Amino acid sequence: MVTDPAIELVVNTVSASNALLRASRRVFRPFGLSEAQFNVLQVLQDADDQLSQRELSDILIVDRSNITGLIDRMEKAAWVKRQPAPGDRRAYRVALTPDGRRLWRQANAAYVQAIARVTVNLTPAQIKAVSRVLPVMERSAHALELELAAAE
Amino acid sequence: MVTDPAIELVVNTVSASNALLRASRRVFRPFGLSEAQFNVLQVLQDADDQLSQRELSDILIVDRSNITGLIDRMEKAAWVKRQPAPGDRRAYRVALTPDGRRLWRQANAAYVQAIARVTVNLTPAQIKAVSRVLPVMERSAHALELELAAAE
DNA sequence: ACTAAACTGTTGACATATCATCTATTGGTT
DNA sequence: AACCAATAGATGATATGTCAACAGTTTAGT
């Protein structure tokens, strides 16, 4: 079967991402965390608890409605809490709890270790080269998505 | 803040894959197809209708149980049909219908065109370089997944 | 100041995914 | 032949994701 290199690139990218996500599920499972929940912890940690659900959905690039249930479950687990957003009665300010911060620290350590494992067979030059190229394709994909969405 | 090049690589890979999947959702939507359903059509097309649900799940790297609902919906849409597997009363042989084959042809044309769009800013050398590196990381991720799954 | 538009979060319908568990078969060992 | 482990597919619980529609708030334009 003759395969166009561009098609191969797209297939390889999605395929590698799937493998990474499947492995990360195993990494996070001992902590009772999903990939999506780890991302929320990560983003909140980086942002110093200043985020509304809308900002979370923008950063994580998922629908607003998705954040509702995600934060519901994480709040029930006492890893985050919703507080009223000062000056806007529509919105919440989502904050890590001390438990959430502790969990992030542990899960992140395991995550960093796992990343070292999955990149051990790559040279620094390869890592940098791929890291430079992929965002170019990502931007094109995003532009295409917006264009097709607007054409509805 | 992400600074380690290896972490950046993983983030960029997953992020690019997400952008590709979101764009492909737009590409397939006019056909009433999801990404997962397109993949089923693609695999069946390549395999000349010789696949059981187990083989589909192995190729697509998803759980067996996932295939049940996927094929249920696609059979209801009359794109595929289940036939008894000769010599094994537990299994089915899943086949494309003429409608399914026609749909695959149209959706694939749109898909190929979309891929040309998202890779237009990359040089052939970049495309080949990334396509060579990503499978190495994918194999490491898969090995890690298996190792962690076995450790339960 | 008022109205219309835009925005935030929630809800419900649905698709996709995992996982554990079930039934029915198949196949290998003794 | 009889038994028992492995396999194929289905099912139900749960999580994540989209999308459309809604209520309540905020903001912009006149």
Interval A79-116: pLDDT, tens: 999 999 999 999 999 999 999 999 999 999 999 999 99
**A38 and A16 share a domain?**
yes
Are B129 and A7 a contacting pair, CB within 8 Å? no
| Percentage of the residues of chain B whose pLDDT score is greater than 90 | 93
pLDDT tens for A40-71 read 999 999 998 789 999 999 999 999 999 999 99
Average pLDDT across chain A, whole number = 95
Mutate to test the interface with A, among B39, B130, B136, B147 (most CBs of A within 10 A): B130
Residue B3's pLDDT is what? 79
Q: Tell me whether residues B138 and A8 touch, CB distance under 8 A.
A: no
**B64 has pLDDT over 70:** yes
Residue A3's pLDDT is what? 81
Considering only CB atoms, which chain B residues are within 8 Å of A57?
none
**A31 and A84 share a domain?**
yes
Q: Tell me whether residues B138 and A6 touch, CB distance under 8 A.
A: no
| Closest nt by CA–C1' to B62 | C17
B88-110 average pLDDT score = 96
pLDDT tens for B27-38 read 999 999 999 999
- Give the CA A90 to C1' C7 distance in Å: 9
The answer to whether residue B137 is domain-embedded is no
A112 to chain B nearest CA, in Å? 7
**A107 and A134 share a domain?**
no
**A132 and A81 share a domain?**
no
**A15 and A51 share a domain?**
yes
The answer to whether residue B140 is domain-embedded is no
Q: Tell me whether residues A130 and B129 touch, CB distance under 8 A.
A: yes
**A110 and A128 share a domain?**
no
Domains in chain A, number: 2
- Give the CA B40 to C1' C26 distance in Å: 27
Residue A68's pLDDT is what? 97
**A25 and A100 share a domain?**
yes
The answer to whether residue B108 is domain-embedded is yes
Query: Which H or E run contains B82?
Result: strand B80-84
Phi-psi region of B2 (alpha: psi -120 to 50; beta: other; left: phi over 0): beta
Residue A1's pLDDT is what? 63
**A52 and A72 share a domain?**
yes
- Which domain range does residue B116 map to? 5-121
The answer to whether residue B27 is domain-embedded is yes
Residue B139 CB burial class (10 angstroms; 0-12, 13-18, ≥19):
middle
More confident residue, B69 or A152: B69
**A82 and A9 share a domain?**
yes
Residue B149's pLDDT is what? 87
A27-35 average pLDDT score = 96
Residue B12's pLDDT is what? 97
**A10 and A42 share a domain?**
yes
The answer to whether residue B13 is domain-embedded is yes
pLDDT band of residue B84 (cuts 50, 70, 90) is very high
Q: Tell me whether residues A10 and B115 touch, CB distance under 8 A.
A: yes
- Give the CA A48 to C1' D25 distance in Å: 26
Considering only CB atoms, which chain A residues are within 8 Å of B5?
124, 127-128, 131
**A23 has pLDDT over 90:** yes
The answer to whether residue B94 is domain-embedded is yes
A27-50 average pLDDT score = 94
Residue B49's pLDDT is what? 72
**A152 has pLDDT over 70:** no
**A107 and A149 share a domain?**
no
**B1 has pLDDT over 70:** no
**B2 has pLDDT over 60:** no
The answer to whether residue B47 is domain-embedded is yes
pLDDT tens for B113-150 read 999 999 999 999 999 999 999 999 999 999 999 999 88
In three-state secondary structure terms, B48 is: coil
Count of CB pairs separated by less than 8 Å, A with B: 199
| Closest nt by CA–C1' to A152 | D19
Residue A109's pLDDT is what? 97
Residue B152's pLDDT is what? 65
HEC assignment per residue over chain A: CCCCHHHHHHHHHHHHHHHHHHHHHHHHHHHCCCHHHHHHHHHHHHHCCCECHHHHHHHHCCCHHHHHHHHHHHHHCCCEEEEECCCCCCCEEEEECHHHHHHHHHHHHHHHHHHHHHCCCCCHHHHHHHHHHHHHHHHHHHHHHHHHHHCC
Mutate to test the interface with B, among A134, A147, A152 (most CBs of B within 10 A): A134
The answer to whether residue B126 is domain-embedded is no
Average pLDDT across chain B, whole number = 95
The domain spanning residue B92 has which CATH number?
1.10.10.10
Q: Tell me whether residues A127 and B15 touch, CB distance under 8 A.
A: no
**A62 and A86 share a domain?**
yes
Are B95 and B49 a contacting pair, CB within 8 Å? yes
